[in-house]
Structure 1
Amino acid sequence: MKNTEIIKEVNKQMKVSQRILPKKLMSFRSIEPYLYLIPAILSVAFWIYRPLLQAFELSFYNWNLIQTSPKIFVGLENFISIFRQPEMGKALVNTIIYIIGILPLSVLIPLMIAIMTDNIGKKAGNIYHALIFLPMVIAPVVIAIVWRWILHPTNGIGSVVLNTIFQLKEPIRFFSDERIAIWSIVFITGWKMIGFSTLIFYTALKGMNREYYEAAAVDGASRFQLIRHITMPLLSPYILLVTMISILFSSEWSFTYIDVLTEGGPFYSTTNIHYLLWIFGFQTFKVGWSSAASILLFCCFGVLAWLLIQLSNKLSFYDD
């Protein structure tokens, strides 16, 4: 009898375990994906949100980066002071110029190149992609030095060619003339981005359903009609994505070229908001000003990003 009772008790416990284990397993599986995200979340929190919170804190203090010097709380004085600086207005205007000026080079020209070269053979296409994407993998400092040599007023190969073709009386000073310097930086920044944007558009074109083109060709559609009514609508999500990236990051991309080629001059003609933050923080050591300006920049570009995402959701066409 004892053995029978023991067996019954064991069976009872097994049945209970069989009911509990699946519930525990289901519970673990529901949180398992989030466990894999923990390293990435911690990394983002430490390297992005932690400095952001520190910048927010420093925006209310007057400090010069020296660890032994005291941090003096000044409230909103830093936010007021940065708008009193004459170079702040110039930097904001230049930032808008960078954003608008780079768009044709980072969106329109790559879009045209991708559409015109859509039918390139596979072997030729691989060489073409490698060549056009090459500037993207080269360090910005190296690119800046190369372009400084190419556009040197007297000895640069670009200046020599221009002087020969147009018979210029005086050489063009691309980086020291305040009327031209900013457009030189815009051109170099946009030129570097052409390969990146072209590759995105080209990849999107290769992923399109070719049956649309075949059906339109049977109906007698011309090349222009195919591009207008099929290619452009299907490319709209990618066009809006590249446009959003260019608007949000064009001013930041130009930082290295400004620092190497013009140092923000002449007379702040090439200084944008990102370079001005660097001047405040690491030249004049006004960390409070730099932090305040960075917080305002973060908020403005955050709102702009949200608006662009909403616009993208409304205008994008998806092939479902």
Structure 2
Amino acid sequence: MFVEVPAPAVIAPPRVARPPVPRRLLRAVSPYLYLAPSLALLVIWTYRPLVQTAQLSFYSWNLLPTQPMTPAGLDNYRRLFALPAVGQSVLRTLLIIAGLLLFTVVVPVAVGLLTQRIRGRARSVYQALVFLPFLVPPVASATVWQWLLDPSGGIVNRVLGTHVNWLHDSKWALGAIIVMTGWYLLGFAVLVVAAGLSNINHDYTEAAMIDGASRGQISRWITLPLLSPTLVFLVLMTILLSAQWTFPLIDTITQGGPSGATTNVYYLLWQYSFQSFDAGLSTAAGILLFVVFGAIAAGLVLLGEKLTIHDD
């Protein structure tokens, strides 16, 4: 005999009172209200001048408020590609980047790998001493380097037994600028590499040593691949900022000479702006630099993200 049992009553969950629409709207908008001042400053001081620079590149103007701007179309860009000084300055900029990579990537990696075993207070003292040159103002360091590289009685010529005019000889001036800038950046790059090495799990190294791998093999096949995001960051910084880092030294010591031997793209842009007073040509050069370096930065950022994801 079957007895029919009624189905249990479904108890509806209690209705949660939703906050009123103004409160929900305020809750959704509040994060953007915190960001609004920073976004406003970013638009005013970065994007607005960038748009104005792009507009100015299509005009001819001598920077005098009393003189009107004359529409020039693409003439500024045509002049820019026709000037031999532009191609020469680009070549010098590439040489500067290649030379600084030795100080921002190669030497810091070697120093970081050789000093991994330093621990305790000695490591702090070592890092402080290495980072110290980065705290010296570029103009002050330029004065010291001028004294060191003096052709008549400088310490460098005394040690090497030479009489080279390092800063006023077109054969040596660009190399001297690269060495001075590299000395300034070396401490910063070493600390960045040390931070990258400290983030690498030591279990990989211990497992490789148990398997019989040598120190060289561990560095080549484990440490350097895991350090690749840090190296990409240093390469990116060197490519984007090398011309800016060298600008104070060039402006203080050589003024782009001798015979333009130390004029890079940033110093050439400055000459077009504040020596030739050609606002249209200088802004056209600035826009081209922005596009080229922006594309390089985007590629390196994507590469760094892929390497970081692969590391995870």
Question: Above 0.5 in TM-score?
Answer: yes
- Amino acid corresponding to residue 154 of structure 2 in structure 1: G
Q: Which SS does the other structure have where 1:18 is aligned?
A: coil
Q: Within the alignment, does 1:234 sit opposite 2:233 as a pair? A: no
Deviation at 1:36, TM superposition (A): 2.2
Q: Within the alignment, does 1:281 sit opposite 2:273 as a pair? A: yes
- Amino acid corresponding to residue 188 of structure 1 in structure 2: M
Residue 19 of structure 1 corresponds to which residue in structure 2? 18
- The 5 A counterparts of 1:95-110 are 95-110=93-108
- Amino acid corresponding to residue 255 of structure 1 in structure 2: F
Residue 207 of structure 2 corresponds to which residue in structure 1? 215
Taking the aligned partners of 1:26 and 1:197, their CA distance within structure 2 comes to: 48
Q: Which SS does the other structure have where 1:47 is aligned?
A: helix
Instruction: Give a deviation string over 1:9-39, Cα, whole Å, max 9, x none.
Output: xxxxxx9993234x65554444333322222
Taking the aligned partners of 1:155 and 1:318, their CA distance within structure 2 comes to: 54
Q: Higher mean Cα deviation, 283-292 or 215-224?
A: 215-224
Deviation at 1:84, TM superposition (A): 2.6
Deviation at 1:69, TM superposition (A): 1.5
Whether the 8 Å CA contact 1:236–1:317 is kept in 2: the answer is: no
Unaligned residue ranges in structure 2 (runs of 5+):
1-13
Q: CA RMSD for the aligned pairs?
A: 2.0
Do the aligned partners of residues 228 and 67 (structure 1) sit closer, same or farther apart at CA in structure 2, a change above 3 Å counting? Answer: same
Q: Higher mean Cα deviation, 105-114 or 67-76?
A: 67-76
Deviation at 1:217, TM superposition (A): 2.2
- Amino acid corresponding to residue 296 of structure 1 in structure 2: L
Whether the 8 Å CA contact 1:102–1:189 is kept in 2: the answer is: yes
Instruction: Give a deviation string over 1:262-296, Cα, whole Å, max 9, x none.
Output: 10011111101100010000011111111111011
Q: Higher mean Cα deviation, 37-46 or 284-293?
A: 37-46
Q: Which has the higher helix share?
A: 1
- The 5 A counterparts of 1:165-314 are 168=162, 171-314=163-306
Residue 8 of structure 1 corresponds to which residue in structure 2? none
- Amino acid corresponding to residue 41 of structure 1 in structure 2: L
Taking the aligned partners of 1:315 and 1:121, their CA distance within structure 2 comes to: 29
Q: How many residues end up aligned between the 2 structures? A: 299
Instruction: Give a deviation string over 1:64-113, Cα, whole Å, max 9, x none.
Output: 21212211111111111222323112111111111111111111101111
Taking the aligned partners of 2:120 and 2:280, their CA distance within structure 1 comes to: 54
Whether the 8 Å CA contact 1:63–1:71 is kept in 2: the answer is: yes
- Amino acid corresponding to residue 140 of structure 1 in structure 2: P
| TM-score, normalised via structure 1 length | 0.87
| TM-score, normalised via structure 2 length | 0.90
Taking the aligned partners of 1:156 and 1:258, their CA distance within structure 2 comes to: 19
- The 5 A counterparts of 1:2-17 are none
Residue 5 of structure 1 corresponds to which residue in structure 2? none
Residue 37 of structure 1 corresponds to which residue in structure 2? 35
Residue 11 of structure 1 corresponds to which residue in structure 2? none
Q: Within the alignment, does 1:54 sit opposite 2:52 as a pair? A: yes
Q: Which SS does the other structure have where 1:50 is aligned?
A: helix
Q: Higher mean Cα deviation, 238-247 or 43-52?
A: 43-52
Deviation at 1:132, TM superposition (A): 0.7
What is the percent sequence identity of the aligned residues?
41
Residue 89 of structure 1 corresponds to which residue in structure 2? 87
Deviation at 1:117, TM superposition (A): 0.8
Taking the aligned partners of 2:157 and 2:33, their CA distance within structure 1 comes to: 58
Unaligned residue ranges in structure 1 (runs of 5+):
1-14
Taking the aligned partners of 1:161 and 1:234, their CA distance within structure 2 comes to: 41
Taking the aligned partners of 2:109 and 2:23, their CA distance within structure 1 comes to: 50
Deviation at 1:40, TM superposition (A): 1.9
**Alignment match of 2:123 (pick from 122, 125, 129):** 125
Taking the aligned partners of 1:152 and 1:184, their CA distance within structure 2 comes to: 12
Do the aligned partners of residues 318 and 203 (structure 1) sit closer, same or farther apart at CA in structure 2, a change above 3 Å counting? Answer: farther
Q: Which SS does the other structure have where 2:18 is aligned?
A: helix
Do the aligned partners of residues 218 and 29 (structure 1) sit closer, same or farther apart at CA in structure 2, a change above 3 Å counting? Answer: farther
Whether the 8 Å CA contact 1:91–1:273 is kept in 2: the answer is: yes
Whether the 8 Å CA contact 1:281–1:290 is kept in 2: the answer is: yes
Deviation at 1:242, TM superposition (A): 0.8
